[in-house]
Structure 1
Amino acid sequence: MKPTATRRAKAVALLAIVSIVASCGLPRVGPNKREIYSGSVQQEGNAFVVAVDDHVTHAIDSVPSLGFSESFRSAGALGSDTIRAGDTLGLTIWENVDDGLLSNEGLNSTMLEEVQVDGSGFIFVPYAGRIQAAGNTPEAIRRIITNKLADQTPDPQVQVRRLAGDGATVSLVGAVGAQGVYPIERPTRTLSAMLARAGGVTIEPEIAQVRVLRGGKSGKIWFQDLYEHPEMDIALRGGDRVMVEEDSRAFTALGATGQQARMPFEHQTLSAIEAIAQVGGLMASAADPTGVFVMRDEPAHVANHVLGRRDLSGNQRMIYVLDLTEPNGIFMARDFTIRDGDTLYVTEAPFTQWNKVVSAMTGSLASVGAVNSAAETF
């Protein structure tokens, strides 16, 4: 065969090998930029693909806030000696006559031991009737009984004391130094003071959340906000349940990043650039810095704002595009807020796929050469 014909045959064979290798589904981390854009609404897909700019960062710049409702904030601090239903009281009543209403002849005092506060919060005292005890202090109960008896016996003197019962208590569970049930005492009548009494939080304060359950209501706040916003340091009530838990928000990182995993939030707010850094940055040998995508379901009012529309309803699939090679691309990534449940996806650079084709091709050629060499030895 002539040299020219031989070279032509080799070129045809090389092109055939390249075509075969390229047509075989080479391994890759996910869709490329072209495939993502082809799934946009503009291309009759089902997701809006939006390039991130200042308008977009401002439109989505809203961090869900935590805090307590007015019913929690308006509750006054309890006294350390407030009586509760179920407590047991002891009463001593002195009368300024020898033959009093309650005392026996020759005695001027009467002791009523183990008077239990019923489930409705009342006690019964002879001649004084039913007395509201729960929610009152012993001193307040003393005044009520004295006034009730004053019309029936001259100058009565009353003493009230708690014999049994823990009074108002709060249970603390979760990431606190010492879980347990604690009485509301004078130094621990507010949430921050009670947390300190339990040994403080045992997780990073920046991602610690404090939940308070009171009856059928609940409220939650960031631990740090208790100190930055004193009005959120609510007064406690008997029966409150306080739980300290770690922030459960997370995002998923996929593609050409240093780590592909579900990642928890490390701060109360997380930007795209912080999220990229948290997963180890972009893979220098594979990532396309013009193809950084953030995918999420966006509420209709946010999607309408971002897209400049008014006709969208329901959650919308949004794909935000960050180009880190732009002059202000890093700033856009810094200002773009990551949300709970977001997917951060980084596409591979075109060179990466070409490199895979070449590697597969040269590997195939080496294999063919080895077979030919082996055949020639026989």
Structure 2
Amino acid sequence: MPMSGPEDHVIKSEHTVNGPEYGLVKLTPQVVDIVREYGPGAIAGSFPDNRPPPSIKFGIGDVVAVSIFEAAAGGLFIPAEAGVRPGNFVSLPNQNVDSAGFITVPYAGAIKADGRTPSEIQQDIVKAIGNRAIEPQVVVSLITQNTSLISVLGEVNAPTRLTANAAGERVLDVISRAGGPKGQGWETWVTLERKGKRATVPFGALVYQPSNNVWVHPGDTIYVYREPQIFLAFGASGAQGQFPFDMWKINMAQAMAKAGGLLDAQAEPSGVYVYRREPRELAERLGVDCSKYVGPTVPIVYNADFRDPAAYFLATKFDMRDKDVLFAANAATVDTAKFLQFVRVVIATANDTIVTANNAQILKITSRQ
């Protein structure tokens, strides 16, 4: 008989003819808790170090200023006849950290600056001129920052490269400095890339789950883009098709409501399924035999039994993911009803043929009379 998808008993048999093998997982409180650990809030898991970023270090191309102080006039930099001065110090001309990573200080020579903090450079200069200057003190400061930068790209109001803040900033702080996201928050995704490693979360995960709002380090790249999240509904639901989340996350119960709920005269309440691919590690924790699967992800079919009243509580805790497929199977009696309807159509067609023949015979007899 015609139908909108596989029968309930076929899905539960885990038998497939042409498609990939899949694992069937029944929704239980334990399953829901395990799945929630692998939600889209992946930045906190990918970058677990929650310490503030390291101190900003100079790099090749940065513009540096050096000021040297002496305890009294008549030393190496401050002549005895200096007269009235604002202080016993001299400011050297600003200079770039050269391609070899050095700056030049008179009487101290070339000082390594690349990859070092101001205090480390100051100590080297003091050590180099300590025997010639009068109790020297040195202040090294960054004038133009050309290397410790953070790139913010994509769907923000002012894509740019920002200088790293010495006090440290988190992801939301940096996005705010770039003008904030252009689109609606629930349609926005944020990718953080650091040293070849990346993680992506919905923008809402940064706002509502503070653990994802991690510290940003110099050299990081933040990419903001818009991609509306959707799920697809098929089978014995009130409506079939593609439905947008219209929020940064929805649960299974909300998705069922968006799709019009289950059809009272058609749906099998124990045969509601969510199709998705899960990481192999998660599939193993769910008790799925992964030996027959190849690749980092495993096809999983989650089954909710809504004949059990408690299943609705589980559905409110089971979050949908982007591109999930929600399928409601037909009840077994639907095929019987379709068959009986087919029989009625056949009988009615036969009756119509007999009636038409009888009417033709009557018309023929009448015409002869």
- TM-score computed with the length of structure 1 as normaliser: 0.66
1:220/1:328 CA distance change after superposition, 3 Å? closer
CA contact (8 A) 1:78 1:236 kept: no
Whether the 8 Å CA contact 2:43–2:192 is kept in 1: the answer is no
Which of 50, 62, 70 is equivalent to 1:87? 62
Please name the residue that 1:256 is paired with. Answer: 236
8 Å CA contact 2:53–2:168 kept in 1: the answer is no
Aligned 8 A contact 2:53 2:217 in 1: no
Kept in 2, the 8 Å contact 1:77–1:190? The answer is: no
In the superposition, relative to structure 1, how do residues 59 and 328 fare at CA in structure 2: closer, same or farther (>3 Å)? same
Answer yes or no: is 1:357 the counterpart of 2:335: no
Structure 1 match to 2:129: 149
1:66 partnered with 2:50: no
- What is the distance in 2 between the residues matched to 1:166 and 1:305? 47
Please state whether the residue corresponding to 2:43 is helix, strand or coil: coil
Structure 2 residue aligned with 1:280: 260
- 1:131 shift after superposition: 1.9
| Residue identity matched to 2:43 | G
| 2:158 matched residue in structure 1 | 178
User: How many residues in Structure 1 have an aligned counterpart in Structure 2?
Assistant: 345
**1: CA distance, partners of 2:178 / 2:355:** 73
Change (3 A) 1:39 1:370: farther
Aligned to 1:130, what secondary structure does the other structure show? strand
Q: 1:180 to 1:328 in 2, by over 3 A?
A: same
Given that 1:77 and 1:189 are in contact with CA atoms closer than 8 Å, whether structure 2 keeps it comes out as no
1:330 — aligned with what? Answer: 312
Pairing partner for 1:313 from 288, 291, 313: 291
Paired with 2:309 and 2:213, the residues of 1 have a C-alpha distance of: 45
Equivalent of 2:53 in 72, 76, 79 = 76
5 Å-filtered alignment, 1:47-58, equals: 52-53=27-28, 57=32
What are the residue-to-residue correspondences of 1:213-252 with 2, within 5 Å?
A: 213-220=193-200, 223-224=203-204, 226=206, 233-245=213-225, 251-252=231-232
Identify if the C-alpha distance between structure 1 residues 151 and 363 changes in structure 2 by more than 3 Å, giving closer, same or farther: farther
8 A Cα contact 2:185 2:248, kept in partner: no
Counterpart residue identity of residue 73, structure 1: N
Structure 2 residue identity aligned to 1:313: S
In 2: Cα distance, 1:335 partner to 1:163 partner: 52
Q: Classify 1:361/1:192 alpha carbon distance in 2 versus 1 (closer, same or farther; 3 Å).
A: same
AA matched with 1:179: P
Residue 115 in structure 1 maps to residue 95 in structure 2: yes
Rounded to whole Å, the distance in 1 between the matches of 2:310 and 2:216 is 49
Give the TM-score, by structure 2 length.
0.67
Structure 1 unaligned blocks of 5 or more: 1-25
Displacement after TM superposition at 1:151 (Å): 1.7
Query: 1:292: how far off?
Result: 1.9
**179-188 or 121-130, which deviates more:** 179-188
| Counterparts in 2 of 1:257 and 1:133: CA distance versus 1, 3 Å | same
For residue 10 of structure 1, what is the aligned residue in structure 2?
none
Tell me how far 1:242 sits from its aligned partner. 1.0
Sort the Cα spacing of 1:357 and 1:330 in 2 relative to 1 into closer, same or farther, 3 A.
farther
**Deviations 1:88-147 (CA, angstroms, capped at 9, x unpaired):** 3355668878896899xx999987545221345321334313323345566764564344
Deviations 1:326-358 (A, max 9, x none): 444434544555456643221234346247526
Distance 1:314 1:118, change over 3 A: farther
**Given that residues 299 and 314 in structure 1 are in contact (C-alpha distance below 8 angstroms), is that contact kept between their aligned partners in structure 2?**
no
Q: Which residue pairs with 2:148 in the alignment?
A: 168
**What letter is aligned with 2:342?**
V
CA distance in 2: counterparts of 1:253 and 1:55, whole angstroms? 25
1:8 aligned partner: none
Name the CA distance, whole Å, in 2 between partners of 1:318 and 1:163: 56
Matching residue of 2:192: 212
SS of the residue 2:342 aligns to: helix
Classify the secondary structure of the residue corresponding to 1:324: coil
Shift in CA distance, 125/256, structure 1 to aligned 2, threshold 3 Å: same
Compute the RMSD of aligned alpha carbons. Answer: 4.9
Equivalent residue number for residue 30 of structure 1: 5
Opposite residue 162 of structure 2, the aligned amino acid is: Y
Residues 62-83 of structure 1, C-alpha deviation per residue, up to 9 Å, x if partnerless? 433423456753343656xx64
Relative to structure 2, which stretch is displaced further, 208-217 or 337-346?
A: 337-346
Residue type at the aligned position of 2:325: T
**How far apart, in 2, do the equivalents of 1:175 and 1:221 lie?**
15
Q: What 5-or-longer segments of structure 2 have no aligned partner?
A: 365-369
What SS is found at the alignment partner of 1:243? strand
